[in-house]
């Protein structure tokens, strides 16, 4: 376990009074990204400016990290890695930690009702919001939402738990808090507002109206590549630290956090520690989602099919490298409303980050939860091109690659483990169809992903069918090369 007393001098450790830090934020989703991103920014603020904004960390499902964090006096290590260089920092702004299953959901709701809490933030991935990606609205058919409508006092979903916290604070006459999503969704604050208000409406229209008038839902854009920890990475950190830290996380040096400045009960001065506070996050969100996340997903599906385990492996293939750059500049950049940003320089910087050999970002990890990611990363851009007459061959190839990937067998005939909240629907459509146009049509009929419109666009359907056939006949490497040559 991590011990601050035994660390080497080059490890940055908390140099502020940890006892003065208070629980003023509850964060739901104590995953790798939060540990390497928002918590780092808050820790820098405490170190450099004496901020007293601390966290209560919550995991609703997995309890191992929470238990390990408690055993380490709520400290853990972040390693920023580039090439052969590694910078280590111990984070100390966590004050409490809860596991929804072992501590109980009521304990989580009670944490939200602490008088000092002014912000509830979350990183639970897109699927945690129980929303329809194609519409951004609450998915009333979701089993957890159906449960929470019937049992609002014992919620199981993220929207239900947040709503219960709001209700308890209101009953006690406590100030409202702000609810801040840090997940990769366009206008993530609006999505969060939609699902919380949608669920509140099922309890009472008066409650929903009160929330609409008193709770704020700031949107954010977050950017830092944080791969899943591996045994190899843990071993490297163990050697550097001189001890084990099961809560440690590794990431790239790059950091970006753009936040809509819309907080009802105050906020940390994150801008002093590297964040950007703005009035409109959407242009930044769309730029990152389409250029970074969109190219990441392209490399994840097609790279994985081609046998590339990591994003950096894809960068060693000149055709994959060129395809990701062209996808960003030729097919994603024209759809953006971002002003005052050099998109060519941004794309080049992304390629350089993908080439970082110290960050072993697995294509299979990025490929998870595709049904939740495709609408904002690719499909909205495809709609723009269909409306404006632009080229979208690489985007369509990405869709074909996703369809090949979720069919469950790679180019070597090995089974692919599909991790997706719509896994059963995907498996059913695959099982009931033959490869080719029949399967393409079946997958395009997933309205929660593709909406009502894309399956009815002949040009789009034809492109996906064309590239699906190429992938079956030629494989991912040759198909990427051929599509580039035709561009």
pLDDT value for 337: 87
pLDDT value for 4: 82
**CATH number for the domain harbouring residue 165:** 3.40.50.720
Task: Let me know whether 336 and 371 are in one domain.
Answer: yes
Q: How far apart are the first and last CA of the chain?
A: 53
Task: Let me know whether 286 and 269 are in one domain.
Answer: no
Q: Please name the residues in contact with 163: beta carbons below 8 A apart, sequence gap of 6 or more.
A: 148, 152, 155, 196, 199, 200, 203
- Tell me the pLDDT band of 213, cut-offs 50, 70 and 90: very high
pLDDT of residue 23 exceeding 80: yes
pLDDT digits (tens, 9 = 90+) for 390-441: 999 999 999 999 999 999 999 989 999 999 999 999 999 999 999 999 999 9
Helical (H) or strand (E) element with 334: none
Number of structural domains the chain divides into: 2
Task: Let me know whether 237 and 315 are in one domain.
Answer: no
Mean pLDDT of the chain: 96
The residue from 278, 293, 310 where one domain ends is 278
- Tell me the pLDDT band of 486, cut-offs 50, 70 and 90: confident
Q: Which of 138, 129, 184 is nearest to 158 (CA)?
A: 129
**CATH number for the domain harbouring residue 348:** 1.10.1040.10
Task: Let me know whether 370 and 223 are in one domain.
Answer: no
Task: Let me know whether 253 and 391 are in one domain.
Answer: no
How many whole angstroms separate alpha carbon 386 and alpha carbon 390? Answer: 7
- pTM, full prediction: 0.91
pLDDT of residue 8 exceeding 90: no
The residue from 278, 304, 337 where one domain ends is 278
How many whole angstroms separate alpha carbon 289 and alpha carbon 209? Answer: 31
State phi, psi for 361 to the nearest 5 degrees: -85, 110
Task: Let me know whether 76 and 181 are in one domain.
Answer: yes
- Tell me the pLDDT band of 474, cut-offs 50, 70 and 90: very high
Give the number of other Cβ atoms within 10 Å of residue 362's Cβ.
19
pLDDT of residue 219 exceeding 90: yes
The residue from 248, 278, 308 where one domain ends is 278
Task: Let me know whether 294 and 268 are in one domain.
Answer: no
Task: Let me know whether 273 and 297 are in one domain.
Answer: no
Task: Let me know whether 287 and 274 are in one domain.
Answer: no
Task: Let me know whether 39 and 184 are in one domain.
Answer: yes
Task: Let me know whether 296 and 199 are in one domain.
Answer: no
Which domain does 101 fall in, by range? 4-278
Task: Let me know whether 322 and 374 are in one domain.
Answer: yes
């Amino acid at each position: 376990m991590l011990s601050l007393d035994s660390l080497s001098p080059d490890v940055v450790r908390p140099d502020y009074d940890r006892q003065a830090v208070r629980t003023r934020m509850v964060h739901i989703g104590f995953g790798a990204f939060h540990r390497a991103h928002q918590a780092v920014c808050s820790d820098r603020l405490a170190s450099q400016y004496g901020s007293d904004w601390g966290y209560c960390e919550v995991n609703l499902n997995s309890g191992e990290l929470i238990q390990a964090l408690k055993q380490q006096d709520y400290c853990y290590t972040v390693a920023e890695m580039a090439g052969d260089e590694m910078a280590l920092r111990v984070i100390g702004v966590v004050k409490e930690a809860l596991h929804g299953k072992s501590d109980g959901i009521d304990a989580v709701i009670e944490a939200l009702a602490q008088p000092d809490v002014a912000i509830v933030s979350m990183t639970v991935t897109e699927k945690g919001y129980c929303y329809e990606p194609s519409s951004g609205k609450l998915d009333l058919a979701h089993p957890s939402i159906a449960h929470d409508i019937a049992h609002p006092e014992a919620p199981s979903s993220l929207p239900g738990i947040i709503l219960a916290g709001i209700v308890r604070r209101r009953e006690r006459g406590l100030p409202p808090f702000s609810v801040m999503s840090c997940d990769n969704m366009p206008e993530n604050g609006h999505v969060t507002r939609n699902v919380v208000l949608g669920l509140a409406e099922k309890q009472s229209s008066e409650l929903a109206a009160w929330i609409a008038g008193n709770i704020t839902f700031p949107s954010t854009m977050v950017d830092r590549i944080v791969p899943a920890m591996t045994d190899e990475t843990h071993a490297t950190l163990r050697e550097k630290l001189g001890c084990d830290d099961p809560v440690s996380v590794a990431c790239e040096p790059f950091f970006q956090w753009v936040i809509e400045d819309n907080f009802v009960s105050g906020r940390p001065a994150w801008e002093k520690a590297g964040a950007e506070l703005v009035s409109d996050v959407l242009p930044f969100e769309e730029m990152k989602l389409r250029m970074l996340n969109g190219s990441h997903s392209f490399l994840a599906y097609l790279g994985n099919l081609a046998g590339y385990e990591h994003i950096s492996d894809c960068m060693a293939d000149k055709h994959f490298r060129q395809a990701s750059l062209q996808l960003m500049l030729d097919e994603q950049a024209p759809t953006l409303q971002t002003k005052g940003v050099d998109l060519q320089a941004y794309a080049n910087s992304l390629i350089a980050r993908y080439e970082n050999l110290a960050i072993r970002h697995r294509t299979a990890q990025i490929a998870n939860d595709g049904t939740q990611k495709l609408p904002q990363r690719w499909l909205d851009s495809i709609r723009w091109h269909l409306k404006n007459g632009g080229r979208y061959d690489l985007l369509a190839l990405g869709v074909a690659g996703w369809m090949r990937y979720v069919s469950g067998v790679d180019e070597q005939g090995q089974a692919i483990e599909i991790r997706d909240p719509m896994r059963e629907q995907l498996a059913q459509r695959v099982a009931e169809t033959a490869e080719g146009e029949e399967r393409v049509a079946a997958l395009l009929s997933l309205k929660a992903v593709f909406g009502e419109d894309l399956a009815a666009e002949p040009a789009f359907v034809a492109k996906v069918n064309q590239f699906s056939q190429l992938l079956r006949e030629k494989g991912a490497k040759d198909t990427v090369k051929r599509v580039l040559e035709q561009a």
